[in-house]
Amino acid sequence: MSAASRAYPVLIMGLALICFALALFVPAVLNDGDTFMHIAAGAWMLDHHQVATIDPFSLTFRDHPWVSHEWLSEVAMALAYRIGHWPGFLLLFASAAAASVFLLGRAARRWLDPLPAALLVLGAMFTLFRTFLARPHLLVLPIMVLWATIILTARSQGRAPPLVAALLMIPWVNLHGSFLVGPAFAAAAALEAWTQSPGRRAQVARAWGIFLLATLAATCATPHGIAGLLLPFHLLAVPALQNISEWAPVNFAHQPPIMPLMLGLLYMGLVYSPRLPRLRVALVVILLFQALLHARNQLLFGVFGLLVLAEPLGRYFRGAAAQPPPPARLPAIAWAAWLALAAAVLVVRVEMPIHIGDAATRPVTALAHLPPGLAAQPVLNSYNFGSYLIFRGIRPYIDGRVELYGNAYVQHYLDMVHPSHALLAATLAQDHITWTLFSAGSAVADMMDLMPGWKRIYADKIAIIHVRTGG
């Protein structure tokens, strides 16, 4: 076995440990406001011993139907928070990140030599870092990698995946809204198998068809039934999402993580000109289009798009007749050493206090200056503050659950805070708003200074509070 083959698993273990430590120590992991809403939702479900089907949090949509499609993630997040507070909560995501790197490293090495396999893992990790946040997508990432590996391994061996693999869709569909990628990816693999088996297409169609039916059946295993299955389609049909950063198209002026991957693939294609299977190239193009259309999909391209290319690129660079390199096995002492290092990192994290202070999504200091009793009164808030308000037991006017509010409501809100004086005045009156909490520097916060009957009572670099002073 070559030195590179021996060094590769050590590299993967090192990368996994780095991701584990980053999830525990990088403050930005908790910078997304939706993290706090997920904890609150999971806590509500634990307290009431049921999955939420109506909204218990919103000021304006309370008791409206709500498809809590990420309920399993939310329950896990709330449990981790209750058991271990913030260190325990971060441990949940650190473990998921490390497991994803291990699985991705093993999958890449199945078809590639050590150096290209390491580059693939690094490329996929790079797309992860843009959304390295304590949110459900990180919890489902190990399942995504495992699913892609099982499907692609079955294709490389000329068979359909085992039926038991379809059970992976049950946790996936209850953890995160990306679950439709699972059956779509399997269907693409089935089509490739069918087109490349001219003499046995009936047999291939039967084997893959049974697996696809099992996959679809597992995808329906949610407390919300067909409503959970249709939710991603409803979300994609909300035009107002384009005004929300994670749903907006990729902006290359900000040097997105997908840019070096695109340039790397372009360089490889122009220099080496590998002839890759057409269906796989088409799948990569579709994944790339989705990643450019919605910035949040860059991670899907980093995982599925790169793994799709792993086997054909491995065959191209090794030669069609060459066998895939055998995966190296690490001795038990290496795993024990890794666990010891991870435990040491966790101990340091537990011993160091975690301070949840002000951030763009957390108006902590502003809420500390809120006059007594005002928190229970109707509030008009910035979109980015809504989820943290839920965490603090305050009913927001709006938060990140677009699936609850719908396009008309979200668009009306966005038009109002553009700002529109007429819409703002009408909303303050019609919804009996008592106080407002807007981001510092926003145009709508400045307009509140000009609204008759309103007074600014607090301002800092994160948030501004106004209260009603007249009728």
Is residue 321 predicted with pLDDT exceeding 60?
A: no
Q: Taking residues 109-122, what's their average pLDDT?
A: 90
DSSP class per residue in 385-422: GHHHHHHTT---S--S-HHHHHHHHHHHHHHHTTT-HH
Cβ neighbour number for residue 60 with a 10 Å cutoff: 18
Handedness of CA 239, 242, 247, 252 (dihedral sign): positive
Q: Where does the pLDDT of residue 314 fall: very low under 50, low under 70, confident under 90, or very high at 90 and above?
A: confident
Residue-level length of the chain: 471
Distance, C-alpha 422 to centroid of its chain: 37
Tell me what pLDDT residue 368 has. Answer: 96
The single-letter DSSP state of residue 161 is: P
Beta-bridged to residue 54, according to DSSP, are 65
Distance CA 278, CA 312 (A): 11
Tell me what pLDDT residue 471 has. Answer: 60
Whole-model pTM over 0.95: no
Q: Where does the pLDDT of residue 293 fall: very low under 50, low under 70, confident under 90, or very high at 90 and above?
A: confident
Is residue 325 predicted with pLDDT exceeding 70?
A: no
- Domain range annotation of the chain: 3-31+67-341, 364-468
Distance CA 466, CA 150 (A): 55
Kind and range of the H or E run holding 239: none
3-class DSSP assignment, residue 359: strand
Q: Which two tokens stand for residue 200?
A: 């046995």
Q: What does the pLDDT look like over 385-438, one tens digit per residue?
A: 999 999 999 999 999 998 899 889 999 999 999 999 999 999 999 999 999 999
Cβ neighbour number for residue 191 with a 10 Å cutoff: 14
Q: What does the pLDDT look like over 234-254, one tens digit per residue?
A: 777 777 777 777 677 777 777
Angle made by CA atoms 36, 38, 40, in degrees to the nearest 5: 70
Residue 459 sits at φ, ψ, to 5 deg, of -155, 140
